[in-house]
Structure formats: structure tokens, C-alpha cells
Amino acid sequence: MHPISRRGLLGAATLLAPALSGAARAQTDIGRASAFIQTTGQQLVAAINDQSNNLAARRQKVAAVLRHAVDVEGVGRFIIGRWWRNASAQEQQEYIRLFDETLVRNLSARFGEYQGVRFSLGRTQQRTEDDVLVNTVIERPNSPPFSLDWRVGDINGQPKIVDVIAEGTSLRLTQRSEYSSVIQRNNGQVGALLQAMRGQIQQLAAREQGR
């Protein structure tokens, strides 16, 4: 079995997708979406820049913000796509659990190490009836600023992050292709993907302990 690449997992950390689970969706208000990303960004920056906490504590705070802001189950359901129907109920439950841990570990590690981060809003635009794209600029010490577009949808009456566009690329689509490739290489067995995800989580945990 070929493991999921580190690049792919980092993509998963930011690969946020709309729910296919039948969650109630409504037209997303531009002003509400913009305010939601502004608040989420301020919370992330406050957690990252909190000098009273060590790296592990900052990551935990970042993880809490992300779990509140992201439609985690919708992300996972979209990424696994048609293979969801191939999975048993137990595999579906395990997949969502592993995806949540993978997503949060990667994002927390990426954002939780850069104190001095600044965050600003750019243009906000309605993309479809269901979602709004909010542009942000992220600045880190000794690094050039970079732009991220956050796609926000209305999930069960609440705004949630459902995708991230980095350098013009939808990360949810990139990760969906990679997950599908892992399953296809293993004769359609979702269990092969779960095994790869477990292995990558162990590697991430070991890497964090070594820092």
C-alpha cells in the first residue's frame, strides 16, 4: 500500500468541503460570511500569538477554533466522495474520526508555530447561491505575505468554512483526488485509506514530540 504523501496531508489540513450528508443549507449572506471569517481569523491570531502558552498549548487553542469554524464532517464526506458508500458503518465512523484528527493536527501545526502572525480581510464575493468566497492576507515574520480564499457556506443555519483556495487551486478537489487514488490502488478498499491515515497520524505525533 502506498501511504498518503505529506504534501497530501498538508493539503488535507486545509481541504475543506461542503457537506454531502444532507445537512440543511441556505443562501449564505455576504456580510455574515465576512464577519465570520474576520472573527475566526482574530481568534486564530490570538491563539497563535499568545506568549503566555507554550507551543503545545497554542496548538490546542488553534485546534479548538478550527473545530468550531470548519464543517469537518462535510469536509470528510466530500473528499472521500463515492467511496463513502463502499465503507461499512464502522469504517465511515472511523474515517470521520481520523479525518478530524488529521485535519486539526496539520492545521494546528502549521499555524501554531508562527508567533507574530497578522491577518487581514480582502474582497468578499458571492460565488454561488450556497457559498461566499472571503479573501484574506496572512503575514508572518520573515516571510512574504500570502493570500487564502475561504469559501463559507451555511450549514444547518450556521456559517462554516467549506473550502480553501490557495494560489487559485481548490484544495478540497486536490485532496479528493489523492484519497480516491489510495483507495483505487487497493481494489476499492476503504480500509486501506484508514490504515494509511493511521500511519500518518502516528508520524505527525512523533514529529510533534520531537520538537
The SS3 assignment for 166 reads strand
Residue 23 confidence (pLDDT): 45
CA angle 132, 47, 124 (to 5 degrees): 15
Q: Are 176 and 76 in contact (CB under 8 A)?
A: no
Distance, CA of 85 to CA of 105 (rounded, Å): 26
Grid coordinates of 42:
482574530
52 or 198, which is more confident: 198
Residue in this structure with the C-alpha cell 489523492, named with its chain if needed: 178
Q: How large is the greatest C-alpha to C-alpha distance in the chain, in angstroms?
A: 50
Distance, CA of 208 to CA of 202 (rounded, Å): 10
95 — pLDDT class (breaks 50, 70, 90): very high
Distance, CA of 102 to CA of 36 (rounded, Å): 24
51 or 79, which is more confident: 79
Q: What is the pTM of this model?
A: 0.80
Task: For 28-37, write each residue's pLDDT tens digit.
Answer: 789 999 999 9
Task: For 125-134, write each residue's pLDDT tens digit.
Answer: 987 778 899 9
Distance, CA of 7 to CA of 76 (rounded, Å): 17
CA-closest candidate to residue 204, choices 47, 16, 63: 63
Topology, domain 6-206: Nuclear Transport Factor 2; Chain: A, (3.10.450)
Residue 93 confidence (pLDDT): 96
Per-residue three-class SS string for 125-150: EECCCCEEEEEEEEECCCCCCEEEEE
59 forms beta bridges with none
Question: What are the extents of the domains in the chain?
Answer: 6-206
Q: Give the other-Cβ count within 10 Å of 20's Cβ.
A: 15
Would the pLDDT of 159 be above 60? yes
CA-closest candidate to residue 19, choices 80, 108, 62, 63: 80
What's the DSSP call for residue 53?
S
192 or 59, which is more confident: 192
Average pLDDT over residues 49-54: 82
